[in-house]
Structure 1
Amino acid sequence: MLDPLLFGEIDPPQRLLMGPGPVNAHPRVLRAMSADLLGQFDPEMTAYMNQVMALYRPIFGTGNRWTMLVDGTARAGIEAALVSLIQPGETALVVNFGRFGLLLQEILTRIGARFETVDAPWGQVVPMEAIRYAALRVRPALICSVHGDTSTTMAQPLDGLGAIAREVGALTYIDATATIGGMEIAADRWGVDVITGGLQKCLGGPSGSAPITISDAAAEKIFARRHDEKGIRSPDAVDGHGPRIGSNYFDLAMVMDYWSEKRLNHHTEATSMLYGARECARVALGEGLEARYRRHRAAGVAMSAGLRAMGLTLFGDDAHRMTNVTGVYIPDGVDGEAIRRAMREHFEIEIGTAFGPLAGRIWRIGAMGYNAMKHKVLITLAALEACLNAQGFNLPMGAAVPAALSAWDDAQ
């Protein structure tokens, strides 16, 4: 029999997570998650659920009644949105400019939907006129995009996307996992129907809960494929809307019934994660969204300035750079993984590697949520400078921190 004491109590190192996510959780969020559990239909619990809905509406920039949580990581929210919005045989248009545009395509393939893409090279974004041209040609049922793709560190402009969708009779879906709480999300102004996010980046929480907002138009389509609590298509389903969805857990119609006044049982709510998501929103709104976005902009500008002062080259288009993740080329002759290891072993700092065509070519350095702070940016830059110098890379020692300080102050 295995000795339960063999592995010891969990005691992770106090590491500073300055990669593309996850990041260190805000202490208030961790404290909230340690609160006592409640039954899923306890009136105190359902009151917390209603509070979560109210708290996330301004964060999504919406008045949508259907603003709630999907239990699971950010990818659970993505899959729930897509599997509930589009049916086998329908066509989607994917705005594709990085690794997570490829993820949307993979999920659509699993659903059995058809899709076409409108593409930009990694490091760029897709012009809105190119999206409109593709939408007019494809006439999709759904237009979907990532907002900020951490694989390329680019943020796709979305103002005007809703107007394009309305022109062709499509719904819209946006994955805002990497930007929610750090860059403006404007569901109503953009005219976007469904947006999902995650806690583990700019919101400063742990992975495991996916905030979502759903427009009335999207809700109408979702409820047209309604199930009853036994998983059987209900009599009030609209004829001609195709088969019921292939997932029970990710059936948003059932999840929405659980978050409605009906409180129809769907799953046991992840109580501690709901507490954490609630506190993430309280922290963000307490700071003030504009102040929070300004802090993330300052952190990104300071990080960029410090990296450039070291003589490093940033990856991607400056005009569309995410505020919270910066891509930087690994210099020729430098072992990128050895630098990451030295950062971790000597300074307890994690920076990110890259995916696909950028693997081994760039580092991705984040400053978001609880870590989008001046001193954490400066510590990270100083540590990277020391590690590069130790590996023999010739750089202007001591230049990064003053450059970052100046940039932070200018950005504020």
Structure 2
Amino acid sequence: MTAFPGPIDPPTRLLMGPGPISAYPSVLRAMSAPLVGQYDPFMTAAMTETQELYRGVWATGNEATLLIDGTSRAGIEAAIVSLVRPGDRVLVPVFGRFGHLLAEIAERAMAEVHTIETAWGQVFPVSVIEEAIVRVKPTLLALVQGDTSTTMNQPLDEVGAICARHGVLFYTDATASLGGNPFEADAWGLDAATAGLQKCLGGPSGSSPLTLSDRAVEVVRSRTRVEAGIREADDVSATDFVRSNYFDLGMILDYWGPRRLNHHTEATSMLYAARECARVLLIEGRDAVIERHRVAGAAMLAGVQALGLEVFGDLAHKMNNVVAVEIPAGVPGDEARRAMLEDFGIEIGTSFGPLHGRVWRIGTMGYNAREDAVLTTLAALEAVLRRFGASVPTGGGTDAAADVFRSS
């Protein structure tokens, strides 16, 4: 007789890494709601409601605000492959792992990719970005806002005006930053922005909110090649059309638009999750949620510093929602992380590239940007550090963090 596994029964974890994080309970409940057909009036109404909710999240009036079914990387790819023609110049300022990702996706879209780089732990002065734009003359600037690999938050508020001055489309990947750090799509002059649910928005990975300016929509519309047999073919050159069917934003816009032209079957449970993530954020208040992330991040920062840990990177440009700490000499980083998980049920992260094995990344995002989660994590981290021979002050981390919460 064949033995089959039992029902899925994951352990209870407190996810305090750089993402994914523990989802809001109401988001998990929303995902368990019954399925309906993709053209059921309830379904199409939920899609329309979700679009309006995310206009509030992004701080935009863009009609072209919707979801891409897939992880945050799906949103990135949809934006880049739909905006970039073969041979277009794309400028990518790289200050961490995810800048390299934007460059790779642009290369796969057959762009002529130009990068500028700065040391991990730093961000770009706006003057450096403008100088590169003048020199490269790109069609698109692709810039990460918050890169969790380094915990840095690139200022964007002046970049849009520079791009507009030089006739450059401005795209940002806000996967790790949206909802926990200031973001003003319209005021900052963004042409395209994408994110994911699994960071500050407090949901599961699997849906990518996206917004496009009218200028970006014009570019997308000029490149759409429709599915055979669905509509009459547009007059699009064979060398110009978007090379992905699934990520062709022109067709996706028609699916989310008033005509509801079939493109794919919307991921119903993920739609429910994304809708609830935005609803929860806007009910609490966008500014209030950002402030909650700021306070929780400041408390975690104070706590790890009070434990004697050295913080990586330029603190003036650290994201609210994640901190990177240097692993103390003599402490086995992976073993300590394993002890946090196995003994306390708490997950923290390592990093990539030059920071792999050098830092731990500790997040305070979404549902976990709260006092009890921060204090519990710091107490566990203190115990684990002491177990592996590090000299740390008793209660130092939790006391320092609690002081921040009390004074905020």
User: With structure 2 as the length reference, what TM-score do the two structures score?
Assistant: 0.97
1:36 matched residue in structure 2: 34
Deviation at 1:306, TM superposition (A): 0.4
Amino acid at match of 1:178: A
1:289 aligns with 2:286: yes
Deviation at 1:104, TM superposition (A): 0.5
2:10 matched residue in structure 1: 12
> In structure 2, what is the Cα distance between the partners aligned to 1:183 and 1:116?
28
Describe the SS at the equivalent of 1:188.
coil
2:134 matched residue in structure 1: 136
Q: Is the 8 A contact 1:229 1:265 kept in 2?
A: no
Deviation at 1:229, TM superposition (A): 3.3
Gaps of at least 5 residues in structure 2 are: none
Deviation at 1:109, TM superposition (A): 1.4
Deviation at 1:137, TM superposition (A): 0.7
> In structure 2, what is the Cα distance between the partners aligned to 1:351 and 1:98?
19
**Structure 1 residue aligned with 2:211, among 206, 213, 233?**
213
Structure 1, residues 201-244: CA drift from partner, whole Å, max 9, x if none?
Answer: 111110000000000000000000122232899655477x9511
Q: Is the 8 A contact 1:19 1:351 kept in 2?
A: yes
Structure 1, residues 183-206: CA drift from partner, whole Å, max 9, x if none?
Answer: 122110110100001001111110
1:98 matched residue in structure 2: 96
Q: Is the 8 A contact 2:18 2:349 kept in 1?
A: yes
1:259 matched residue in structure 2: 256
* Aligned pairs for 1:149-188 within 5 A: 149-188=147-186
Structure 1, residues 87-142: CA drift from partner, whole Å, max 9, x if none?
Answer: 11110010210000000111111111111112211000011010000001111000
1:397 matched residue in structure 2: 394
1:355 aligns with 2:352: yes
Q: Is the 8 A contact 2:225 2:233 kept in 1?
A: no
Deviation at 1:163, TM superposition (A): 1.1
1:317 matched residue in structure 2: 314
> In structure 1, what is the Cα distance between the partners aligned to 2:120 and 2:2?
49
Amino acid at match of 1:373: R
1:275 aligns with 2:272: yes
Q: Is the 8 A contact 2:150 2:313 kept in 1?
A: yes
Q: Is the 8 A contact 1:223 1:237 kept in 2?
A: no
1:343 aligns with 2:340: yes
Describe the SS at the equivalent of 2:299.
helix
Structure 1, residues 289-322: CA drift from partner, whole Å, max 9, x if none?
Answer: 1110010000110000000001110000010000
Q: Is the 8 A contact 1:140 1:168 kept in 2?
A: no
1:86 aligns with 2:84: yes
Amino acid at match of 1:338: E
> In structure 2, what is the Cα distance between the partners aligned to 1:246 and 1:72?
18
> In structure 2, what is the Cα distance between the partners aligned to 1:343 and 1:337?
10
1:115 matched residue in structure 2: 113
Q: Is the 8 A contact 2:226 2:234 kept in 1?
A: no
Amino acid at match of 1:383: A
Amino acid at match of 2:221: F
1:45 matched residue in structure 2: 43
Q: Is the 8 A contact 1:227 1:234 kept in 2?
A: no
1:61 matched residue in structure 2: 59
1:247 matched residue in structure 2: 244
> In structure 2, what is the Cα distance between the partners aligned to 1:53 and 1:387?
44
Q: Is the 8 A contact 1:227 1:233 kept in 2?
A: no
Q: Is the 8 A contact 1:29 1:280 kept in 2?
A: yes
How many residues are matched? 408
1:300 aligns with 2:297: yes
**Structure 2 residue aligned with 1:381, among 378, 382, 403?**
378
Describe the SS at the equivalent of 1:93.
strand
Q: Is the 8 A contact 1:61 1:187 kept in 2?
A: yes
Structure 1, residues 241-300: CA drift from partner, whole Å, max 9, x if none?
Answer: 951111000000000000011111000000010011000011000111111001000011
Distance 1:401 1:40, change over 3 A: same
Identical aligned residues as a percent = 58
Distance 1:2 1:190, change over 3 A: farther
Describe the SS at the equivalent of 2:113.
strand
Q: Is the 8 A contact 1:233 1:244 kept in 2?
A: no
User: With structure 1 as the length reference, what TM-score do the two structures score?
Assistant: 0.97
Amino acid at match of 1:89: G
Describe the SS at the equivalent of 1:190.
coil
Gaps of at least 5 residues in structure 1 are: none
Describe the SS at the equivalent of 2:142.
strand
